[in-house]
A and B are shown apart, each in its own frame.
Chain A
Amino acid sequence: MKISRWQLFWMFLTLEISMSVWLTVSPTIAIAKQDAWISLAISGVIGLFVTLIFILVCRRHASQTLVEFAQSLFGKWIGRLIGASYILMWFSVSADILRIFSLFIKQYLFHDTPLWVIAFLMIAAMAYINYAGSVEAIARFSELAGPLLLIGIVITFGLNLSNLHPSLILPVYADSGAFSILKGSFVNASFLGESMMIMMLTPFIADSKQLLKPALLAICIPSAVAVVTSVMVIMTFGTNIGSTLVFPYFSMVRFINYLEFIQNMDVWVMFIWIFSVFVKLASYLFINSHGTAQLLGIKNGRIMIGIVAAIIFALSLVPANKIGMLDYAKLVWIPYIFPIFIVGLPIIFLIVSLIKTNDPHVKKAT
């Protein structure tokens, strides 16, 4: 039931691209204007840095999930508290993503279909893949979906070339300044930080000692794609429209009209985007059900899948509208989750783990 490290690469690539291309570009343009691409490049570097920390932590606890090693590092109760807060956070983010996904589909494809139906179909597929093959099935699926997603994005970039006004990217730096560029970079950096779920996955990876290369590459490629997307969006729509569009990449794809017969590519792009959101949500369902089972001391984690899926489904129906959901990124994810769960705690894990190296309870890194 173990996955290889390159399967992990495709899994992470798929789930990182889905968010950074769809959701982070326009908030970044709103903050950093036409220098959004610099912001996104910086956020790639931040993403690499935090992922490096995750990998270092994981290496030292290769056979344990976060819920387990938190307990062996901080003792039973504090460890459980940390584990529980991570799980809670993952619950909230998966509900959020499920909601954004359903709203997006409802807005562009099915105006009259009730929201819960779309969400339910997704959650049913997520639960199915988790029952059928657990993380291995997700990894295999992303081996198919990942390349498809990359090819699709590259093709749309190519077809959009004729719509570009290159001068819209100028002047560089003068309009935004260092502060805005840095501030803008936190948006995507925090989304790239979703790679923290690797801390729940290490026991399931076959060669978990050599994770560095695939994991870092799975951050590099999505941030490079995000940089190109932002440049394309700015050159196609300028900063004024670019920062107001809710899904700028998608609007850009809708704008493509190549030789009068390649049009309306949005349906195809939406199709592969659903794949990548599926990978993401299925992975979240996996770590949530597995983590909850470990927290509660339930031996058979599979029982939890249905329950966790039901909870995520219910949570996703709570908020009022799409703006509320994007506010989640602005008001919860970036100011709290990013500094605490993505940067702060992993660094503490690493330090404590280093101090406790000689502790017999902790497995030594090789």
Chain B
Amino acid sequence: MKRIGALMVLLLVTLFIAGCWDRNEINDYAFWIGTALDVSENGKIEKTAQIAVPAGFKSSGEGAGGGQRGNIVISASGSSIVDLEQQVQDKLPRKIFLGHRRSIFIGEKLARQGIVKIMDQFTRNTDTRMRTDIFVVNNGEGRDLLNINSPFNPFSAIVAVDQDRFCRLGDTALRDVLLDVGRDGIRPSMPMVEIAPKNKQEKNEIIEVKSVAIFNKHLQMVGEVSGRESLELFWVKGVLKNEFLTEETGEGTVSLYESSLKKSVRTEIKGNRLKAYVKLEGTGRVLENNTDIDISVSSERIPLERKLNAIKAKQVAATIKKLQQQYGQDAFGIGEEFHREHPYQWKKLRNRWDELFPKVEISVTVKLKIQNTGGIGKRVPGIGERG
């Protein structure tokens, strides 16, 4: 009796072995690495996918320029993101696998129209990961970016993530954008990529990550800041960790590598006046000194530090002013600082923050410390006047 029972159980178990509903060989998957979203002429969303072609991987080692691509770029246009996914699937012999998607590129035109309509699936679709980078493509279409064929990595979608990590946010960008969406005292901002070849080699191979797109409450892109200003934006926002800094002192330039960047903001509400005191700190190492200042001598270095601090503070204040006046969007999160420091008064301010932010009086102080003078103290004799 017992044996028959055991036999029955075994037979029953074989039923499950046969019915593998979710059996998927890795060979049957098409790995989706990058997504680009654009708006087409008739107003529909256009989606472009960068899909890995495993057979093409080998060629990437054969040297620059030569060989096939390791990926294929496929486009489709439709009404919703998942509708597009189906269309992309129709063009592929393998099943789409979204778990490896590393980045999303949004064409500037779509970004300016607003991205509310496309955001839901990034958090809802459990096939994707939230650890994704998100970019606006400066003056271009997202699809152009996926066509780039970088010599470093077969996937331009991954190249963009790596490049973003070294200078700005890295692959937490989507999370960081979503964090700012729907909060009253901060407006979302996201990195921008651009394709601007400076020589023949760079063409179709190099992308640049150097600007930041600023969005308003309704997730429409309203403007951008570039280069130094974008780094200052992220510094004041508190997400920048290190940067290269070059300042013109009047007698020549000084370049520092600043790390352990910190910010702290104090806020004050005096009647109708809102005041914010931004303090930026960092420690630096001198990389280049084109002035006659001998930074190995404290009596000369300290005035230099003060000078640099004053210059930097002025620059940051100008960047803040620019955002206040030109775009009127609080990408820094100054409002959230008010929220944290004056939570009860904030309840009266939060709904009209967009009109209040441009009027906030913001003062900036910078405290950069020169911790290290680099490989040499004073300059090598013969370079500069004092030798």
Residues of A within 8 A of B (CB): 107-114, 117, 121, 163, 165, 167-168, 170-171, 174-175, 236-238, 240-241, 244-245, 251, 254-255, 257
The distance from the CB of B18 to the nearest CB of chain A, in whole angstroms, is 12
Known: A108-B126, A237-B175, A237-B179. A254 touches B131 (CB 8 A): yes
B123 touching A241, Cβ below 8 Å: yes
The distance from the CB of B182 to the nearest CB of chain A, in whole angstroms, is 5
Contacts of B19 in A (CB 8 A): 117
Taken residue by residue from 177 to 207, chain B's Cβ proximity to chain A (1 for < 8 Å, 0 otherwise) reads as 0110111000000000000000000000000
Give the interface segment out of B279-287, B309-317, B338-346, B359-367.
B338-346
B130 CB-CB contact with A under 8 Å: yes
B344 touching A174, Cβ below 8 Å: yes
Q: How many A-B residue pairs have CB under 8 A?
A: 58
Known: A117-B19, A255-B131, A255-B175. A174 touches B126 (CB 8 A): no
B340 touching A113, Cβ below 8 Å: no
A107 touching B131, Cβ below 8 Å: no
Q: Which of A114, A121, A174, A236 makes the CB contact (< 8 A) with B21?
A: A114
CA distance A114 to B16 in the complex (A): 11
B179 touching A240, Cβ below 8 Å: yes
B175 touching A167, Cβ below 8 Å: no
CA distance A21 to B22 in the complex (A): 28
CA distance A236 to B179 in the complex (A): 9
A112 touching B123, Cβ below 8 Å: no
Contacts of A108 in B (CB 8 A): 126
B16 touching A112, Cβ below 8 Å: no
A165 touching B179, Cβ below 8 Å: yes
Pick 29 A–B contacts, CB within 8 A, sort by A: A107-B126, A108-B126, A109-B22, A111-B22, A112-B22, A113-B21, A113-B22, A114-B21, A163-B172, A165-B179, A167-B238, A167-B336, A167-B340, A168-B179, A170-B340, A171-B339, A171-B341, A174-B344, A175-B343, A237-B179, A238-B178, A240-B178, A240-B179, A240-B183, A245-B123, A254-B130, A254-B131, A255-B175, A257-B171
Contacts of A114 in B (CB 8 A): 21
Contacts of A254 in B (CB 8 A): 129-131
Closest to A104 in B: B126
CA distance A251 to B130 in the complex (A): 8
A255 touching B130, Cβ below 8 Å: yes
Contacts of B339 in A (CB 8 A): 171
Contacts of B183 in A (CB 8 A): 238, 240
CA distance A278 to B241 in the complex (A): 44
Taken residue by residue from 227 to 246, chain B's Cβ proximity to chain A (1 for < 8 Å, 0 otherwise) reads as 00000000000100000000
Contacts of B129 in A (CB 8 A): 254-255
Within 8 A of A (CB), among B216-260: 238
A240 touching B181, Cβ below 8 Å: yes
Given pairs A113-B22, A165-B179, 11 additional interface contacts (CB within 8 A): A109-B22, A110-B21, A114-B21, A163-B175, A167-B238, A167-B340, A171-B339, A174-B343, A236-B175, A240-B183, A254-B130
